[in-house]
């Protein structure tokens, strides 16, 4: 099976955000930042309240509530902004380039303007499917980002991957 597609900056961004959402260390970082500041502001609010400093107690209580509610969104926005800057700096020459992928009996061959990569099928760690993408991850840490919008026959690709013994992780609920 052979297919050709092009990647844009948003495709790289969605891959980075998907990978980050699967990372336990990033989830810990998010939880730690949320928990520490929220608890510290709450404890300080209680301290002020019990020391008859009602105005400061309300102030720090409001800060704790606002931080507790909005920090997860802020964290996601901050990471998206960071990844977007990284992608625009490091991958800008790859935007709009055609990539041709060929699935053979024993290899995946990816060809673009910079060259050709041939990877054994046994090196595939996993295949993740989201609403808009298929991400094929290899032992080396590299991945193929395949936008579904570029595929003429998605079901044929999925069948080819399952026929060679790969399971496709269903991540369709990922944003």
CATH of the domain at 158: 2.30.29.30
Work out the pLDDT band at 156, boundaries 50, 70, 90: confident
Report how far residue 125's alpha carbon sits from residue 119's, in angstroms, rounded to the nearest whole number.
Answer: 12
22 and 85 housed in the same domain: yes
User: Do 75 and 34 touch, CB atoms closer than 8 A?
Assistant: yes
Q: Where are the beta strands (DSSP E) in the chain?
A: 2-6, 98-103, 107-112, 115-120, 124-129, 133-138, 143-147, 168-170
Other beta carbons within 10 angstroms of residue 165's beta carbon come to 9
Does residue 76 sit within a domain?
A: yes
- Average pLDDT for the chain: 91
Average pLDDT in the 29-49 region?
Answer: 93
Which residue carries 């094929």 as its tokens? 136
Residue 57, CB-side half-sphere exposure with 13 Å CA sphere: 9
Question: Is a pLDDT exceeding 80 seen at residue 175?
Answer: no
Tell me what percent of the residues of the chain surpass a pLDDT of 90: 59
Question: What's the predicted TM-score (pTM) here?
Answer: 0.82
Average pLDDT in the 148-156 region?
Answer: 88
Does residue 48 sit within a domain?
A: yes
54 and 119 housed in the same domain: no
Number of domains in the chain: 2
Report how far residue 157's alpha carbon sits from residue 148's, in angstroms, rounded to the nearest whole number.
Answer: 10
- CA dihedral (54, 57, 58, 59) in degrees, to 10, reads 120
Does residue 57 sit within a domain?
A: yes
66, 92, 118 - which closes a domain = 92
Report how far residue 97's alpha carbon sits from residue 113's, in angstroms, rounded to the nearest whole number.
Answer: 7
Domain range for 26 is 10-92
> What pLDDT does 18 receive?
94
Beta strands across the sheet bearing 168-170: 143-147, 133-138, 124-129, 168-170
């Amino acid at each position: 099976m052979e297919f050709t597609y092009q990647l844009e900056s948003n495709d790289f961004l969605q891959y980075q955000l998907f990978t980050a959402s699967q990372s336990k260390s990033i989830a810990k970082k998010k939880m730690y930042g949320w928990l520490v500041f929220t608890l510290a502001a709450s404890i300080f609010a209680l301290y002020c309240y019990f020391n008859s400093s009602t105005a400061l107690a309300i102030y720090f209580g409001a800060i704790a509530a606002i931080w507790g509610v909005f920090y997860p969104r802020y964290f996601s926005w901050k990471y998206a902004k960071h990844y977007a800057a990284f992608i625009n700096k490091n991958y800008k020459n790859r935007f709009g380039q055609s990539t041709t992928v060929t699935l053979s009996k024993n290899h995946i061959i990816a060809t673009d303007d910079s060259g050709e990569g041939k990877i054994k099928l046994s090196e595939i760690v996993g295949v993740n499917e989201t609403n808009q993408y298929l991400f094929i991850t290899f032992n080396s840490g590299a991945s193929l980002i395949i936008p579904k919008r570029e595929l003429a026959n998605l079901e044929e690709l999925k069948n080819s991957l399952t026929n060679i013994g790969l399971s496709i992780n269903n991540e369709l609920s990922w944003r």
